[in-house]
Amino acid sequence: MHSFFAAIPHHGPEYFGKLIIGLLIVLAILGLLHAAPKQSRRAIIAVFTFLGGLFYFLEFFLPVDPKTNKNFLTGQQEFVAQLSAVIGAYAIGLGVVSLGQYHAKIISRKREGWGNSVVLVIAALIMFTFSILNEYHAKTVLFTDPFQHHTQDIHGVFLVLFEGGLAKLDAATFALIAFFIASASYRAFRIRSVESSLLMIAALIVMLASTTIGTALTNWLPTEGPQANFRIEHISEWLLTRLNSPAQRGIVFGLEVGALATSLRLWLSLERGAYFDAEV
Amino acid sequence: MNQFSYLFNPITLFGAVCTLAIFSLIFKENRIYRVFEHMFIGLAVGYDVATTWTQVLKPQWWDPMVVDGQWAWIMTVPVGLMFYGIYTKKFAWMSRLLYGIFFGLTATTIFQDFCQGFMPQVVKSYKPLVPPPAVPNDPWASLHAFSFVVNNLLFMIILTCVLIYFFFAFEQKSKFVQITAKTGRLILMGAFGAIFGSTIMTRMALLIDRVYFLLHDWLRWVH
Amino acid sequence: MTTSEKGSVWARMQRVDRRVIYVLLLLSIIIPMLLPQVEFPILPSQQSKDFYTGIENVAEKTPAKIVIVDGFWASGTRGEQQWQTQAIFTHLMKRHLKFAMLSFDTQNKTLMPAIADKLAPQFGYEYGRDYINFGYRPNSVFQQTVKGMVNDIPGTIKKDARAQPIASYPIMNGIKDSKDVGAVIDITPVSSVGVWIGLFQGASQTPLFYAPTAVMAPEGYPYLDSGQISGILTGVKGAGDYEQLLKTKSFGTQATSALSFVYALIILLVIVGNIGYFIERSNTRKVNA
């Protein structure tokens, strides 16, 4: 069995023959699964879900060899990781297809903003092309830069698109939120109750302690002794380590127990909801 | 090359134009912002797809299969294409089959995470109430001992109050439980305030970085 | 000024155009940048000091082991994490610790190595001998990759970002599994540290350092308290603290000064906004009464 699946020279009839055999084996299995009665599909999905999860379950719970600290499944982890990465990578097309369908509809029907959709598609194609070329032909010269008076290779154009375009657009989009926070801090943050007062006081203390202007307010207090506890940076640290830490831990307790319960339900196919209850 | 040629460096110039186009939204919704927003999505999609090939599929699937002769990797093609069954009514269930395998695979890592990541949290929540021996020549030894005990006690009280607040399995009828839960709620507000203060730091830091790029990298008004 | 006139002033202030606030915000950032002599001394936080001390301990106790630096950040949070990464790499190179970079974000696989490559000549670091780039792994296999590295790093990673077998590099001599890892540093804007704790640190007790954005930092404190994390570097303030401890100066230091002004503005806006709200509310009550 192991020798059948072993690597062979990547040319010749045996290699291509085995490629075809491999495809046929999988297609046959998938065909058999598809041919199964419709009522059994839910059970088939449940079985495969269970088998998929069984690997890491057994790998963790099975006893290990004290000398090597491994069991028979531990050595297979990198193969499982590689297999997951490869199969998971196929899913990239889902997003591309969805996006392509949506914008193709807008362009073909010339709906409002169709020009933007054209820009999107062109940008995607150009970025894809230059990202691939940058990986394999980075030093190929394309043209002479009139401003810098030197030749521009593919890597240079890629940097303009990535560093000048994608990276800056990403950073600027996230930076926009700062303006809205500033506006909200003036117009929306209102102390209307005890809870909001506590929230605001804690926030103000943490903010003040993070700045030098804030620490300067209590700089006159000694750095040691009981009075040092009233320095703003110590109050902030106390808030974060003595108040925030146990509160966060309480939240983590709930999250972890919930995560365990949800994971068990997912693994054993007990989960319910729109996706899981949809007709198979 | 004149003294202002640095303004026209393609990377920084294009970056500055992109940044200013995005920032134009804060004054008014406009078409320039929309164009650059769509360009952003297009660039991101193109880059992600290319990276999936160059960093994942080619080194971990294509090269082993075609260069190293590991022909069995061809079997991943029909399996991976099962994702696209979702676009057909007939084969949609096959995509759920594949998702189910991934759900199972990821879900069962929770056991190790629970035992090795979460259980130490439970153990460490039992804080000692007896202070450790004083450090020799510590002028504030009694203060440190006092604060050790008070802080640890407070830690456990706060944790208990927060846990009681989140305990929704039974109705909280007892007055003591109600007061404890309310205390937990107030403490959570303090914790969220700390998070809120940190959130502002992150957002402002991102804006400061963009302004620094414009003034330092592009205009060179800042050194 | 009569009560109604006072009320109308506050009422007008409550309705001030948001673009005025935006301009004030931009000025509070631009002015300190244009006035470099306005620089405030930085007081490193205890968490930043613990982070620094932790790396120093790793350098002293396990200098032969490799440090894994994993990056989840992209351009969206580079305003904080680029400078954290730079400060951390500077420290690792100063202490001659060999390290490996591992990216779980498509942009990070370009951004993080660029920082290492820029700093390497200053410290005489050579790729393959002193540092290596394990490359990019999709987020979907994050847990599998971390779990795989516990028992077999060369088997899990196989090839570096240059598509060369990692076992062929001198840096990987003697590096087999998690016992050969001196520390893991997680520079991330998401809650990936839980996975490192549960699947790597819990199995091998390797020191784990956490460098999140400021918004994620409070979530790390329970793990810091339990000793599962050895240090937290909080956002750009943490980067500024770290530069102070390393006695270097970069954007982290400058940003901390600008942050002081911005925070002062935000606090002022909150206070003025609430004062105006309360005055308006009491005026409205008087009028209605």
Q: How far is CA C68 from each of CA A21, B134, C187, rounded to the nearest angstrom? A: 41, 38, 11
Confidence at B146, pLDDT banded by 50, 70, 90: very high
Report the pLDDT averaged over residues A252-259: 91
Give the β-pairing of A150-153 and A141-145: antiparallel
Rounded-to-integer distance, Cα B52 and Cα C144, Å: 17
Report the pLDDT averaged over residues B31-43: 97
Shared-domain flag, residues B60 and B83: no
3-state secondary structure of C132: strand
Q: What is the pLDDT of residue A147?
A: 65
Cβ within 8 Å, pair C214-B120 = no
Identify the DSSP state of C71: E
AA identity, residue A2: H
Q: How far is CA B172 from each of CA A250, B165, B175, B179, B181, rounded to the nearest angstrom? A: 18, 9, 8, 10, 9
> Does residue B133 lie in a domain region?
no
Q: Is A170 touching C (CB cutoff 8 A)?
A: yes
Least confident of A196-210, B4-18, B179-193, C4-18: C4-18
Q: Which two tokens stand for residue C217?
A: 């930092």
Confidence at A222, pLDDT banded by 50, 70, 90: confident
Contact (CB, 8 A) for C79 and B206: yes
What average pLDDT does the structure give for chain B? 92
Read off the pLDDT of residues C90-129 as tens digits, 9 standing for 90 and up: 999 999 999 999 999 999 999 999 999 999 999 999 999 9
Give which of C147, C213, C215, C278 to mutate to test A binding, by max A Cβ within 10 Å.
C147
Contacts of B194 in chain A (CB under 8 A): 202-203, 206, 239-240, 243-244
Burial (Cβ within 10 Å: 0-12, 13-18, ≥19) of residue C264: middle
Rounded-to-integer distance, Cα C149 and Cα C157, Å: 8
Show the beta-strand stretches assigned E in chain C.
66-71, 99-103, 131-136, 181-188, 208-212, 231-232
Confidence at B73, pLDDT banded by 50, 70, 90: very high
Nearest-CA distance from B131 to chain A in Å?
17
Q: How far is CA A70 from each of CA A59, A67, A254, C141, C177, rounded to the nearest angstrom? A: 9, 8, 32, 21, 12
Report the pLDDT averaged over residues B40-57: 95
Q: Is A176 touching B (CB cutoff 8 A)?
A: yes
pTM for the structure as a whole:
0.89
Helix (H) or strand (E) holding A151: strand A150-153
Give which of A80, A185, A237 to mutate to test C binding, by max C Cβ within 10 Å.
A185
Cβ within 8 Å, pair C156-A78 = yes
Give percent above pLDDT 90 in chain A: 64
Q: Which two tokens stand for residue C286?
A: 């008087």
Ramachandran sector of residue C205 (left: φ over 0; alpha: ψ -120 to 50; beta: rest): left
Contacts of B121 in chain A (CB under 8 A): 249, 252-253, 256
Against chain A, the chains showing at least 3 CB pairs within 8 Å are B, C
Report the pLDDT averaged over residues A246-275: 91
Q: What is the pLDDT of residue C276?
A: 87
Residue with the two structure tokens 């050790």? B148
Contacts of B23 in chain A (CB under 8 A): 172, 175-176
3-state secondary structure of C150: helix
How does DSSP assign C11-51, residue by residue? HHHHT--HHHHHHHHHHHHHHHHH-TT--PPP---HHHHHH
Q: What is the pLDDT of residue A148?
A: 64
Torsion of CA A198, A201, A206, A211, to 10 degrees: 170
Residue B107 CA from chain centroid, whole number: 19
Which of B69, B89, B106 is where one domain is finished?
Answer: B69
Q: Is C65 touching B (CB cutoff 8 A)?
A: no
Helix (H) or strand (E) holding A204: helix A194-210
Q: What is the pLDDT of residue A246?
A: 94
Cβ within 8 Å, pair B205-C236 = yes
Q: What is the pLDDT of residue B137?
A: 87
Q: Which residues pair with B85 in a beta bridge?
A: none
Q: State yes or no: pLDDT of C49 exceeds 80.
A: yes
Q: What is the pLDDT of residue A140?
A: 92
Q: Is B51 touching C (CB cutoff 8 A)?
A: yes
Angle formed at CA A166 by CA C192 and CA A163, multiple of 5 degrees: 95
Give percent above pLDDT 70 in chain C: 96
Contacts of C237 in chain A (CB under 8 A): 210
Cβ within 8 Å, pair A175-C79 = yes
Confidence at C64, pLDDT banded by 50, 70, 90: very high
Rounded-to-integer distance, Cα A189 and Cα A247, Å: 23
Read off the pLDDT of residues A53-98 as tens digits, 9 standing for 90 and up: 999 999 999 999 998 888 999 988 888 888 999 999 999 999 999 9
Q: What is the pLDDT of residue C127?
A: 97
Angle formed at CA C161 by CA C159 and CA C162, multiple of 5 degrees: 85
Q: Is C202 touching A (CB cutoff 8 A)?
A: no
Q: State yes or no: pLDDT of C1 exceeds 60.
A: no
Report the pLDDT averaged over residues C192-199: 92
Torsion of CA B163, B169, B170, B173, to 10 degrees: 40
Rounded-to-integer distance, Cα C212 and Cα C185, Å: 10
Nearest-CA distance from C213 to chain B in Å?
6
Q: What is the pLDDT of residue C118?
A: 96
Confidence at A51, pLDDT banded by 50, 70, 90: very high
Q: What is the pLDDT of residue C37?
A: 63
Residue B71 exposure: Cα atoms within 13 Å on the Cβ side? 24
Shared-domain flag, residues B48 and B98: no
Q: Is B206 touching C (CB cutoff 8 A)?
A: yes
Q: What is the pLDDT of residue A4?
A: 73
Read off the pLDDT of residues C229-274 as tens digits, 9 standing for 90 and up: 999 999 998 999 999 999 998 888 888 888 888 988 998 998 888 8
Q: State yes or no: pLDDT of C2 exceeds 60.
A: no
| Nearest alpha carbon to residue B185 among A254, C78, A250, C83 | A250
Report the pLDDT averaged over residues C140-150: 90
Question: To the nearest 5 percent, what fractions of chain A are helix, strand and coil?
Answer: 75, 5, 20
Contact (CB, 8 A) for A237 and C224: no
Residue of A nearest to C222 (CA): A245
Q: What is the pLDDT of residue A156?
A: 93
- Per the structure, the complete domain to which residue B6 belongs is given by 1-69
Cβ within 8 Å, pair C106-B63 = no
Q: What is the pLDDT of residue B210?
A: 95
Q: Which two tokens stand for residue B124?
A: 């460490």
Shared-domain flag, residues B158 and B208: yes
Rounded to the nearest 10 degrees, the angle between the axes of helix A12-35 and helix B92-107 is 100
Q: Which residues contact C98 (CB under 8 A, 6 or more apart)?
A: C66, C67, C130, C131, C171
Cβ within 8 Å, pair C148-A78 = yes
Torsion of CA B138, B143, B144, B147, to 10 degrees: 180
Closest by Cβ to C156, choosing from A81, A191, A212: A81
> Does residue B131 lie in a domain region?
no
AA identity, residue C128: G
What average pLDDT does the structure give for chain C? 90
Higher pLDDT, C257 or C38: C257
Higher pLDDT, A44 or B168: A44
Please state the domain count of chain B: 3
Put simply, the chain C residues between 20 and 39 with a CB less than 8 A from any chain B CB are 22, 25-26, 29-30, 33-34, 36
Contact (CB, 8 A) for A245 and C222: yes
Contacts of A89 in chain B (CB under 8 A): 52, 56-57, 61, 80
Shared-domain flag, residues B100 and B176: no
Q: Which two tokens stand for residue B31?
A: 């078409």
| Nearest alpha carbon to residue B76 among B87, B67, B64 | B64
**Number of C-beta neighbours around residue A4 at 10 A:** 8
Rounded-to-integer distance, Cα B69 and Cα B124, Å: 52
Task: Specify the length of chain B in residues.
Answer: 223
Q: Which two tokens stand for residue B1?
A: 């090359």
Contact (CB, 8 A) for B209 and C255: yes
Contact (CB, 8 A) for C86 and C250: yes
Contacts of A207 in chain C (CB under 8 A): 263, 266-267
Q: Is A141 touching B (CB cutoff 8 A)?
A: no
Read off the pLDDT of residues C146-159 as tens digits, 9 standing for 90 and up: 988 998 999 899 88
Which of B28, B51, B69 is where one domain is finished?
Answer: B69
Give percent above pLDDT 90 in chain C: 66
Q: What is the pLDDT of residue A5?
A: 75
